[in-house]
Chain A
Amino acid sequence: MKITTPLTDETIAKLKAGDKVLITGTIYTARDAAHLRLVNLINENKALPFDIKNQIIYYVGPTPAKPGQVIGSAGPTTSYRMDPYAPTLLKHGLRGMIGKGDRNQTVKDAIKKYKAVYFGAVGGAAALISKSIKKVELIAYEDLGAEAIRKLEVVDFPALVVNDIYGNDLIIDNIKKYKVDDKNE
């Protein structure tokens, strides 16, 4: 399924765990250090460097671009490290997150409550994924290097819906499906 950003209520309602999606539009990068700063700003009632309302944050710290590239290799980092910050951002309007690996229950509850989506991308497929990134603009925290916040224009960025607004969880459901229980053999 092809989807575009910013995410609308309509799009989000359509997305179900397990759906393969191709994302087109603007997405923002942030990982550990940037998340800490964003949440501190929210706690101090200060403005964020970009409006997170209805947007998607991609957990990534790319390699430096080689001459001629818009961005270096740019695959997802492990999402659980952002679990302490994600519910605050969701509460303030963030609607999508892209990363790898499972989320904790607090994040899954917040996804349902604030009607958002967690997408999984293929960790380690960084050279492939970077081909879907067409434009990059550094918008905040240049001092963080690879961890700075960047605005990306993506076309057909490949991802899977992992957690949807209905409480479905691709990871839990699919692992159950493929688990071999010796007792039943």
Chain B
Amino acid sequence: MRYINRDIIVETVERLCIEANYNIEDDVMEALNNSLRNEISPTGKDVLSQIIENDLIARNDSVPMCQDTGVVIVFLEIGNDVHIDYDIYEAINEGVRNGYNHGYLRKSVVRHPLDRVNTKDNTPAVIHTKLISGDKINLLIAAKGAGSENMSLVKMLTPAEGIEGVKDLVIDTVFNAKGKPCPPIIVGLGLGGTFEKSALLAKEAVMRPINDQSPDPIARKLEKDLLEEINKLGVGPLGFGGTQTALAVKVNVYPCHIASLPVAINIQCHASRHKKITI
């Protein structure tokens, strides 16, 4: 058994909330530079240059790259040899509160979806917990903006609709969203499981490194084919027309019922902000 101190959790969450919002990840920056090289639309090129310049300013000046500093999503993996004697969810939320206050980040969470009163400290975070082996805690902290989250959806297809049904749904969703989710986007696709599992798969998919590939051969092919098709839609950077609509498509799969084909599409904007750490 290894004891992990509450202060370490609070401080780590605070630090990662701020870092995620200020410092664009290297893989995203590289993907944006590739897009700029490949874009043929002059407006699209101009938009991509502004995004890259923006992300460099944010990093150099230690300011948020986007004003929508998002709702905090935490993927928490706890080793079965870890000992904690406090409420870890409270500790995480304390870290979020400190991060959003000390980092001058925007507080974008309301306490109730219908009365819409701001909680003023960006809590609570949305936390997904998993038990793993070992004596460590893995934390993935993401700041997710609403512009791209709002363009996401879950749909229960029939097995007969198959891969064509999945592709059509993704293409329609991306095309109809146009500039709203701030393209170039990352498309996370969750296939299988149940209604709620597919949504989680899609969210896990957008958290993957931008350059990796699915280990599953069917998913891997779908990632490649969909990326090609999406970039033929003409939507382009910020929807002003162009060839660079998506940076990547990530497909995560899970077994499902003989009668179901759950499909979840989670859209991630170019301001893809997440940080991972092992404690």
Please pick, from A18, A78, A128, the residue contacting B147 in the complex, using a CB distance under 8 A: A78
Residue of B nearest to A100 (CB): B179
Query: Once the chains bind, are A102 and B66 in contact (CB under 8 Å)?
Result: no
Q: Which residues of A contact B269 (CB under 8 A)?
A: 123-124
Given contacts A63-B106, A122-B238, contact A72 B63 (CB under 8 A): yes
Q: Does B242 contact A (CB under 8 A)?
A: yes
Query: Once the chains bind, are A145 and B67 in contact (CB under 8 Å)?
Result: no
8 Å CB interface, B177-196 against A:
178-182
The majority secondary structure among interface residues of chain B is: loop
Nearest CB of chain B from residue A59's CB, rounded to whole Å: 11
Query: Once the chains bind, are B50 and A100 in contact (CB under 8 Å)?
Result: no
Which among A69, A125, A160 has the highest number of chain B CB atoms within 10 Å?
A: A125
Q: Does B107 contact A (CB under 8 A)?
A: yes
Q: Which residues of A contact B63 (CB under 8 A)?
A: 63, 66, 69, 72-73, 127, 130
Given contacts A102-B239, A127-B63, A127-B65, contact A122 B51 (CB under 8 A): yes
Query: Once the chains bind, are A61 and B234 in contact (CB under 8 Å)?
Result: no
Q: Does A60 contact B (CB under 8 A)?
A: yes
Q: Which residues of B contact A96 (CB under 8 A)?
A: none
Q: Does B77 contact A (CB under 8 A)?
A: no
Q: Does A89 contact B (CB under 8 A)?
A: no
Stretch at the interface among B1-9, B53-61, B89-97, B156-164: B53-61
Query: Once the chains bind, are A65 and B241 in contact (CB under 8 Å)?
Result: no
Please pick, from B53, B179, B236, the residue contacting A102 in the complex, using a CB distance under 8 A: B179
C-alpha spacing A64/B69, complex, angstroms: 11
Residue of B nearest to A144 (CB): B118
Q: Does A109 contact B (CB under 8 A)?
A: no
C-alpha spacing A130/B67, complex, angstroms: 10
C-alpha spacing A126/B22, complex, angstroms: 11
Given contacts A18-B43, A120-B238, A174-B241, contact A125 B233 (CB under 8 A): no
Query: Once the chains bind, are B180 and A61 in contact (CB under 8 Å)?
Result: no
How many interface residues does chain B have, given as a range? 35 or more
Q: Which residues of B contact A182 (CB under 8 A)?
A: 232
Query: Once the chains bind, are A63 and B105 in contact (CB under 8 Å)?
Result: yes
Q: Does B254 contact A (CB under 8 A)?
A: no
8 Å CB interface, B27-51 against A:
40-41, 43-44, 46-47, 50-51
Query: Once the chains bind, are B178 and A175 in contact (CB under 8 Å)?
Result: yes
Q: Does B75 contact A (CB under 8 A)?
A: no
Query: Once the chains bind, are A178 and B241 in contact (CB under 8 Å)?
Result: yes
8 Å CB interface, A148-174 against B:
158, 160, 170-171, 173-174
Q: List 27 A-B contacts (CB under 8 A).
A: A61-B68, A63-B63, A63-B105, A63-B106, A66-B104, A72-B106, A73-B64, A73-B66, A75-B66, A75-B67, A100-B179, A100-B239, A122-B54, A122-B238, A123-B147, A123-B182, A126-B54, A126-B65, A126-B67, A127-B63, A146-B106, A170-B240, A170-B241, A174-B43, A174-B240, A179-B232, A180-B232
Mark A residues whose CB is within 8 Å of B.
18, 20, 33, 60-66, 69, 72-75, 77-78, 80, 100-102, 120, 122-131, 145-146, 158, 160, 170-171, 173-180, 182
Given A62-B67, A101-B178, 13 further pairs, Cβ under 8 A: A63-B104, A66-B104, A72-B64, A75-B67, A75-B68, A78-B150, A80-B180, A124-B66, A124-B182, A160-B240, A174-B240, A175-B239, A175-B241
Mark B residues whose CB is within 8 Å of A.
40-41, 43-44, 46-47, 50-51, 53-55, 57-58, 61, 63-69, 104-108, 116, 118, 120, 146-147, 150, 178-182, 232-236, 238-243, 269-271
